[in-house]
């Protein structure tokens, strides 16, 4: 394959390069040399979208981002200590770029133009932190890389090649006045910016107010593993967006787009609601993997779209020297989110107290993300089991001792009784005496005797853990 712009080859893949196709060839000449070549028209809009998505993902490292036509500039001086130094930061940056699907060249310098020029060069060493080291590396850059930092007219580009200089250092050694007269002031200003001898103002990238990103798959996806692999790049962009906006995700939506043909299938919409808002990439990947593994695809997927439906302010987590109980709370929230993703929101609940003395009305089920009522509920002075039967179970009674019998065991009553008389206000009056009862297996039951027409009948209402 080859990328074509204005009937000229501007990019080739390895297979075409091995057959002799080179950049700069005409399209007709390349096809004559290799008839099986697949020419692809350059799509500037898709290139710009890719650079934008790459810049959004790199927003997890620094808020100072500048998008260029063929790459991204990052000002990372303030982030070095946060990520443990320049080496650790470079590993994070290269990992993000690689996961986004970019084939990249990376340069580091004290100036923006210097870093861009080093990244555009083919020399082995392209990283310098000190101005003197950067100056030595920039002097070795071939002149062929200069069009990356300044746009020259065709006549001036030919004159530049005819000067006989091979590197940027040899060019700078020529008289400055003559270079400005022949090659223009723009080239000298660009070089001054590379070496830190002139100001270099930049327009920072502003992340969009709402996050939504799409990805067209190269091959159709038939299983959860393929979708999770493709989703990784979108989650990287989401993490960068959340970091740039100081937000945490609460609700995510994933749209799976199927083939639109004769048997078109509507898009599949999957929601992921987090009990505790987060911007942790590992947590997002784990929850979506659980969610997709239990979802049956109606048809192969050809495109995915990730959007953020709800988010909250999140200024980060303060660092601490010693672990605190808050860490266990965060682990608990992550566990709840994983259970919801694996089992479904309708199968995961938490209990909330209700201001009612009747046990069957004293608690209700809430979804993990549902807020509880702020009213304070007084606790019962006597122990009550968490697990209640859906309906009280009648128990036989020992004719001699008058004690209840459960599972063939005569229960022994422990402690004093708790009398409950409530429900007159809603027509469901109960009058009961509750007891703790222990069997021969040493398990505790919660039994009661109904006061009224039922006489001495015993009922089992709950079991302690």
Tens-place pLDDT, residues 235-284: 999 999 999 999 999 999 999 998 766 677 888 999 998 888 899 999 99
Cα–Cα dist 253/216, whole Å: 17
* Placement of tokens 């601490």 in the chain: 320
Q: Please give the pLDDT value at position 232.
A: 94
- Point out which residues pair with 431 in neighbouring strands: 421
Cα–Cα dist 389/317, whole Å: 42
Query: Chain-wide mean pLDDT for the chain?
Result: 87
Q: Which residue has the higher pLDDT, 19 or 264?
A: 19
Taking CA 89 as the corner, what is the angle to CA 83 and CA 93, rounded to the nearest 5 degrees? 130
| pLDDT tens string 172-181 | 999 999 889 8
| pLDDT tens string 417-449 | 888 888 888 878 888 889 999 988 888 999 998
Give the pLDDT band (50/70/90) at residue 131. Answer: very high
Contacts of 235 (CB under 8 A, 6+ apart): 281, 284, 285, 288, 306
Residue 319 burial class via C-beta count within 10 angstroms: exposed 0-12, middle 13-18, buried 19 and up: exposed
Distances (CA, A) of 302 to 99, 159, 253: 19, 50, 17
DSSP category for residue 79: G
pLDDT at 85 over 70: yes
Helices (DSSP H) in 246-280: which residue ranges? none
Q: Please give the pLDDT value at position 198.
A: 92
Average pLDDT over residues 33-56: 93
What percent of the chain is predicted at pLDDT more than 70?
92
pLDDT at 374 over 60: no
Helix or strand holding residue 313 (H, E): strand 301-313
Q: Per the confidence metrics, is the pTM higher than 0.85? A: no
Q: Please give the pLDDT value at position 402.
A: 80
Residue 319 in tokens: 């660092």
Q: Please give the pLDDT value at position 34.
A: 93
pLDDT at 164 over 90: no
Lowest-pLDDT range, 41-45, 229-233, 418-422? 418-422
Domains along the sequence of the chain with CATH: 2-42 (3.40.1170), 46-194 (no CATH), 212-315+331-343 (3.30.1490.100), 379-463 (no CATH)
pLDDT at 320 over 70: no
CB 268 within 8 A of CB 297: yes
CB 437 within 8 A of CB 411: yes
């Amino acid at each position: 394959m080859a990328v074509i712009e204005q009937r000229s080859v501007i990019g080739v893949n390895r297979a075409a390069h091995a057959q002799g196709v080179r950049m700069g060839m005409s399209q007709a000449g390349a096809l004559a040399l290799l008839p099986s070549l697949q020419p692809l028209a350059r799509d500037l809009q898709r290139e710009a979208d890719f650079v934008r998505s790459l810049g959004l993902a790199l927003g997890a490292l620094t808020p100072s981002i500048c998008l260029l036509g063929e790459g991204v500039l990052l000002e990372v001086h303030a982030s070095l200590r946060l990520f443990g130094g320049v080496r650790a930061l470079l590993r994070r940056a290269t990992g993000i770029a690689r996961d986004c699907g970019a084939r990249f060249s990376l340069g580091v310098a004290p100036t923006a133009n210097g870093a861009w020029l080093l990244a555009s060069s083919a020399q082995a060493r392209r990283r310098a932190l000190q101005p003197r080291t950067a100056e030595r590396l920039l002097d070795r850059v071939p002149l062929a890389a200069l069009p990356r930092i300044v746009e020259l007219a065709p006549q001036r580009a030919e004159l530049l090649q005819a000067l006989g200089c091979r590197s940027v250092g040899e060019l700078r050694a020529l008289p400055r006045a003559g270079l400005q007269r022949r090659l223009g002031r723009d080239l000298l200003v660009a070089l001054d910016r590379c070496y830190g001898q002139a100001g270099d103002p930049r327009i920072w990238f502003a992340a969009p107010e709402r996050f939504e990103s799409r990805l067209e798959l190269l091959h159709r996806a038939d299983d959860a593993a393929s979708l999770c692999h493709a989703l990784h790049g979108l989650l990287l962009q989401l993490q960068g967006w959340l970091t740039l906006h100081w937000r945490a995700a609460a609700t995510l939506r994933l749209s799976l787009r199927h083939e639109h043909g004769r048997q078109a299938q509507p898009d599949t919409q999957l929601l992921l609601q987090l009990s505790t808002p987060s911007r942790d990439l590992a947590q997002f990947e784990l929850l979506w993997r659980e969610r997709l593994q239990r979802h049956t695809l109606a048809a192969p997927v050809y495109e995915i779209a990730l959007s953020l439906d709800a988010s909250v302010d999140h200024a980060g987590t303060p660092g601490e020297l010693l672990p605190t109980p808050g860490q266990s709370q965060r682990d608990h929230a992550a566990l709840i989110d994983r259970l919801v993703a694996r089992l479904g929101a309708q199968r995961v609940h938490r209990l909330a107290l209700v201001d009612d003395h009747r046990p069957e009305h004293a608690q209700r089920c809430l979804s993990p993300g549902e807020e509880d009522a702020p009213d304070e509920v007084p606790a019962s002075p006597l122990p009550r089991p968490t697990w209640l039967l859906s309906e009280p179970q009648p128990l036989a009674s020992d004719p001699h001792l008058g004690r209840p019998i459960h599972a063939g065991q005569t229960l022994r009553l422990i402690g004093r009784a708790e009398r409950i008389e409530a429900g007159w206000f809603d027509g469901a009056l109960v009058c009961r005496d509750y007891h703790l009862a222990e069997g021969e297996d040493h398990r505790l039951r919660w039994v009661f005797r109904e006061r009224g027409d039922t006489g001495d009948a015993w009922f089992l209402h709950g079991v302690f853990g």
